[in-house]
Copies of this chain bind each other. A is one copy, B any other.
């Protein structure tokens, strides 16, 4: 009933004929991304989405994630899909091979994202946020930060989170109270509470890398006093092994309709000794850096609309082909499947047309990101992005 088949033919049509794969594979570093490779990748990803992720969607939502003894337990009694996702290297699709990625264009990675979100949105949120965290760190992290975090984030062995708002702040990020204090050794400790943290805690991965917006030690009021910090769930030793548990804990979970498997946390940083934090980039440019992550996540959330619409269309089509009710308008000896009724066909065609338009738009945006990232005339230094409230 609730199956999902990745719409490979429609996806390839948009990638190859609407957006134009050639335009993208002409960019430096993407020369090997031809139609045959795209077909092979989409086919393999479609198997993971259809055979592994989709069947877990309903059972995951029924069981839901639970907060037990201060840690989040994702739904049990079903295989977690993380291992296959990591083994396939899927999380690293759009990232550089030097960090362990596949080096694919965002155009193709976006089609993969559509499959993860369409087959199992509750699961898909984890790589969604992780990819957005990677995008920010690879733009503005120090070389050491990149070496420490990117390889495990790119493989998906670790996950990333986005920590923006707080109970009193809402969309007014200037009201953020989480504050960084400087320690004697020149490091930082964070204290404060963050809300709506997608996959703020879970047992899918060995470590979680929180990107946290907090007021700088001497930060002025408003958004211009905010910096961006890395707060790992487990501190990372110089040799790359995991060290002490950091002072970052989930306090409660939200109830989100249809995605109860995805833990959306209230997070407490620094309830005890303060959360060990590492500054990203320069102080007081936190909003600007966080917008790299936010913009990536925004596009992916828009893509979720397409993904859920495609899933709904597949279920509607399946139902219209199997549900028998009422005679055909042109006459029939008995009731027929409802796909024979003109108004049902009209509704299905409307859904399909709207889905194809959405897919065309979103994949075209992905191709534009590839051009922006890889065009020979791209400025080599990361351009500051416009900052405002979210």
* B-binding residues in A (CB < 8 A): 168-172, 175, 323-326, 335
Contacts and interface: CB of A to CB of B under 8 A. Distances in A.
A139 B171 CA distance: 57
A171 B324 contact: no
15 contacts: A168-B324, A168-B325, A168-B335, A169-B325, A170-B323, A170-B325, A170-B326, A171-B325, A171-B326, A172-B325, A172-B326, A172-B335, A175-B325, A175-B326, A175-B335
A171 to B, nearest CB: 7
A251 B294 CA distance: 49
A326 B175 CA distance: 8
A175 B332 CA distance: 14
A193 to B, nearest CB: 16
A139 B172 CA distance: 60
Contacts of A172: 325-326, 335
A175 B326 CA distance: 8
Nearest to A389: B326
Given A168-B325, A168-B335, A171-B326, 12 more contacts: A168-B324, A169-B325, A170-B323, A170-B325, A170-B326, A171-B325, A172-B325, A172-B326, A172-B335, A175-B325, A175-B326, A175-B335
A174 to B, nearest CB: 8
Nearest to A257: B257
A210 B168 CA distance: 53
A330 to B, nearest CB: 16
Nearest to A174: B326
Contacts of A335: 168, 172, 175
Nearest to A175: B335
Nearest to A169: B325
A134 to B, nearest CB: 31
A326 B169 CA distance: 8
A170 B231 CA distance: 55
Contacts of A323: 170
A353 to B, nearest CB: 26
A175 B338 CA distance: 14
Contacts of A169: 325
